[in-house]
Amino acid sequence: MDKLTITTIQTELFWEDKDANLQMLEAKIRQIAEKTHLIVLPEMFSTGFSMQPERFAETMEGETVQWMRRLSKVKGAILTGSLIIEENGAYFNRLIWMQPNGQLGYYDKRHCFTLAGEDKHYAAGSKRLITSVGGWLIHVQICYDLRFPVWARQQIHAEDGAPATEYDVLLNVANWPAKRSHAWKTLLQARAIENQCYVIGVNRVGTDGFGLEYAGDTTVADPLGEVLYRQIGVEEVHTITLEKEKLDQVREKLPFWRDTDEFQIF
């Protein structure tokens, strides 16, 4: 596809109230009028950033994953966002990548937010997920991952030594507090510049159960780091179309990332 259309949902969340959040989000999703390829929800969209996984964790066959499967099919679009998943006795902050045909992929947050004690409640993931939508390659991340550039870095060679494939979009879903919004906005643009890709960061607004405020600052940046869209402080469902031609032009004229250092992720 020459163009990729993405809908971001910046919203308040009901604290640790799955039923209320799913009802609210379903209404927003159903009201999307534009044809879109991908609908993006914030981190832990069913509960907020809860540190009580033993109370709110679901399985991969649970209600929220089934809810995502149903709505993805209804809208004919991929639906993604993270929620609390229990698997083999461990808890994960897991992003679900639900396709309209019911098939899914997932990504477990690699960098647990130690400042909030996330590492004491959740297991860290170990693998990146780069998935494809109509020929667009999308690298997904969750919130705190944004602070670690190596985890996002374009690679010259894959692990088997073959030339690596450039991803086109870096997508981050978050519950990023307003008091650190400067870092959020700066890092999103930095990741776009250094990887020469589109970057999309979807954050929540409102106040959570810990009293933390969220400004949203949901952002779309182009491969030069220029902000194409940003919304601060209010709920908004926004649809934007990305152009492959612009991405290709930047990479052909300014192929900076190809001069990067070789590295391996262990």
- Supply the pLDDT for residue 262: 77
Residue whose structure tokens are 């149903």: 70
The active-site residue out of 16, 43, 58, 118 is 43
- Supply the pLDDT for residue 164: 65
- Supply the pLDDT for residue 163: 56
**Mean pLDDT of the 257-262 span:** 78
pLDDT-derived band at 257, boundaries 50, 70, 90: confident
Residue-wise pLDDT for 78-107, tens only, equals 999 999 999 999 999 999 999 999 999 999
Q: Is 43 a residue of the active site?
A: yes
The active-site residue out of 18, 58, 143, 185 is 143
Distance CA 219, CA 241 (A): 13
Q: Domain extents for the chain?
A: 3-259
Second-level CATH architecture of 3-259: 4-Layer Sandwich (3.60)
Residue-wise pLDDT for 24-68, tens only, equals 999 999 999 999 999 999 999 999 999 999 999 999 999 999 999
- Supply the pLDDT for residue 166: 87
Distances (CA, A) of 181 to 47, 175, 193, 222: 21, 11, 19, 19
If one compares 261 and 12, the residue with the highest pLDDT of the two is 12
Query: Strand 227-232 to strand 104-108: parallel, antiparallel, or no bridges (unpaired)?
Result: unpaired
Q: Is 73 a residue of the active site?
A: no
The active-site residue out of 16, 58, 109, 197 is 109
Distance CA 85, CA 131 (A): 20
Residue-wise pLDDT for 186-216, tens only, equals 999 999 999 999 999 999 999 999 999 999 9
For 81, the token pair is 């966002």
For the chain, the average pLDDT equals: 95
- Supply the pLDDT for residue 263: 73
Residue 225 has pLDDT above 70, yes or no: yes
Cα dihedral: 95, 264, 151, 107 (round 10): 0
Backbone angles phi, psi at 24, to 5 degrees: -65, -45
- Supply the pLDDT for residue 255: 87
pLDDT-derived band at 266, boundaries 50, 70, 90: low
Distance CA 4, CA 169 (A): 10
- Supply the pLDDT for residue 75: 98
Q: Find, among 189, 241, 253, 182, the residue nearest to 37 by Cα.
A: 241
Residue-wise pLDDT for 125-181, tens only, equals 999 999 999 999 999 999 999 999 999 999 876 666 655 678 999 999 999 999 999
